[in-house]
């Protein structure tokens, strides 16, 4: 499998049939804006990843007034636009500000109205972290479910009894309103939005480039309130759990298909649809992940780890481990065992041959 980095531009995926459009994105920042959350939007939607098969997005950085916006850290961000682009955006992202949760805080003029119009128009709104307070203040959260940073969950509930607050999830989708929990969960939310509109392949491509897991599970599975199940993305969830329980066994595709009571062909297709990978590749990734955990937490010999992870032999484990992780199992374990490693973990193509010789 050649890394897609070098791949020539593939044809860009179009929005899935029936899925909401996601092309024009407006992010609203205002004084006190948290740079990290703001930059999540920039990272996901502001970078041209068309070479990786990701569609081109149009990202507008909007502030109540164009010009400098003082960030919570003290430096300024220059917003090129006022709130006008919000009127045409498919998705409006609201970045949190230092005192979002302060009951005294007032939204800058125009923001609440712009958000209300966006909802009325059928656009989607996303708020990261404590931006949920801003959405609530704008009145677009009334009667809806939302989440926020766990530190603020109670406060949100108190201030806005009309909002149903879901703690313990990374993000909540309720109709057109999307909210995410603490800081980094904004990434999960963005990937969810992309997955919704363009499917898992595109979301995974972005995740891969950002070097984040394509799909994290929160305390419970993410809370997605869908009146009409658009894509019950988790038809396969029980099967996935079933398989993870049995990674040490033989798991050929036919067996998985039978367990899911589908024909192998349909199974593979559905799997691709929901997961973004093929069944066998998925199993492989799970096995390597399990091996990783065992390498970290036990001192069992590689042979044993291999068989506990369902690899036919230690050779097989090594083969896939190096392919997926860029290091040998032994080297990986060593960097985890040494509390103060005196060498950096080997990088592919540098100390590799030396490492192999030393390890074996």
Partner DNA sequence: ATAAAATACCGCCAAT
Partner DNA sequence: CTATTGGCGGTATTTT
Residues of this chain that interact with DNA (CB under 7 A) are: 1, 17, 252-254, 262-266, 268-270, 272, 278-281, 284, 312-313, 315-316, 319-320
Q: Which is nearer to DNA, 112 or 253 (CB)?
A: 253
Smallest distance, DNA to C-beta of residue 238, A: 17
Q: Which is nearer to DNA, 11 or 106 (CB)?
A: 11
Smallest distance, DNA to C-beta of residue 325, A: 14
Smallest distance, DNA to C-beta of residue 259, A: 13
Smallest distance, DNA to C-beta of residue 316, A: 5
Q: Which is nearer to DNA, 1 or 228 (CB)?
A: 1
Six-digit token pair at 275? 């997961």
Six-digit token pair at 199? 């499917």
Q: Which is nearer to DNA, 252 or 341 (CB)?
A: 252
Among 6, 348, 8, 51, residue whose Cα is nearest residue 206: 51
Q: Residue 100 and residue 240: Cα distance in Å, rounded?
A: 39
Smallest distance, DNA to C-beta of residue 7, A: 12
3-state DSSP call for residue 269?
helix
Residues in the chain: 360
Residue 28 β-bridge partners: 62, 94
Q: Which is nearer to DNA, 67 or 252 (CB)?
A: 252
Smallest distance, DNA to C-beta of residue 256, A: 8
Q: Residue 292 and residue 286: Cα distance in Å, rounded?
A: 10
Three-state secondary structure along 57-87? CEEEEECCCCEEEEECCCCEEEECECCHHHH
Q: Residue 311 and residue 201: Cα distance in Å, rounded?
A: 27
Q: Which is nearer to DNA, 244 or 254 (CB)?
A: 254
Q: Which is nearer to DNA, 137 or 318 (CB)?
A: 318
Q: Residue 189 and residue 209: Cα distance in Å, rounded?
A: 16
Q: Which is nearer to DNA, 24 or 318 (CB)?
A: 318
- Give the helix ranges, DSSP H, for the chain: 35-45, 111-121, 131-138, 153-159, 185-198, 200-210, 237-245, 253-259, 264-275, 279-297, 302-308, 314-325, 329-337, 352-359
Q: Residue 235 and residue 139: Cα distance in Å, rounded?
A: 34
Smallest distance, DNA to C-beta of residue 210, A: 23
Q: Residue 239 and residue 271: Cα distance in Å, rounded?
A: 10
Smallest distance, DNA to C-beta of residue 4, A: 12
Give the distance, in angstroms, between the CA of residue 81 and the centroid of all CA atoms in the same chain. Answer: 27
């Amino acid at each position: 499998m050649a890394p897609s980095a070098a791949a020539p531009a593939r044809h860009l995926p179009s929005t899935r049939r029936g899925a909401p459009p996601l092309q024009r994105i407006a992010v609203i920042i205002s004084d006190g804006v948290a740079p990290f959350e703001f930059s999540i939007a920039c990272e996901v939607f502001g970078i041209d990843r068309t070479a990786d098969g990701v569609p081109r997005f149009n990202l507008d950085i909007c502030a109540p007034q164009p010009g400098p916006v003082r960030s919570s850290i003290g430096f300024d961000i220059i917003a090129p636009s006022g709130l006008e682009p919000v009127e045409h955006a498919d998705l409006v992202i609201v970045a949190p500000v230092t005192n979002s949760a302060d009951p005294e805080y007032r939204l800058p003029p125009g923001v609440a109205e712009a958000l209300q119009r966006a909802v009325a128009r059928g656009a989607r709104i996303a708020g990261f972290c404590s931006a949920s307070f801003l959405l609530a203040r704008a009145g677009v959260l009334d009667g809806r479910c939302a989440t926020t940073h766990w530190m603020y969950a109670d406060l949100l509930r108190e201030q806005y009894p009309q909002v149903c607050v879901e703690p313990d999830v990374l993000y909540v989708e309720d109709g057109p309103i999307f909210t995410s929990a603490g800081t980094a969960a904004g990434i999960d939310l963005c990937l969810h939005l992309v997955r919704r509109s363009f499917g898992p392949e595109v979301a995974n491509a972005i995740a891969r480039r950002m070097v984040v897991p394509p799909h994290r599970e929160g305390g419970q599975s993410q809370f997605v309130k869908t009146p009409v199940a658009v894509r019950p993305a988790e038809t396969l969830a029980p099967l996935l759990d079933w398989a993870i329980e049995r990674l040490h066994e033989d798991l050929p595709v036919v067996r998985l298909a039978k367990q899911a009571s589908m024909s192998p062909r349909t199974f593979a297709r559905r799997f691709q649809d929901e997961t973004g990978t093929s069944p066998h590749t998925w199993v492989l990734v799970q096995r390597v992940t399990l091996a990783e955990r065992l390498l970290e937490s036990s001192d069992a010999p590689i042979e044993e780890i291999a068989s506990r992870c369902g690899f036919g032999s230690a050779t097989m484990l090594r083969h896939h481990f190096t392919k997926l992780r860029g290091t040998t199992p032994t080297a990986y374990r060593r960097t985890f065992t040494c509390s103060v490693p005196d060498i950096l973990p080997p990088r592919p193509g540098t100390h590799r041959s030396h490492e192999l010789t030393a390890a074996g």
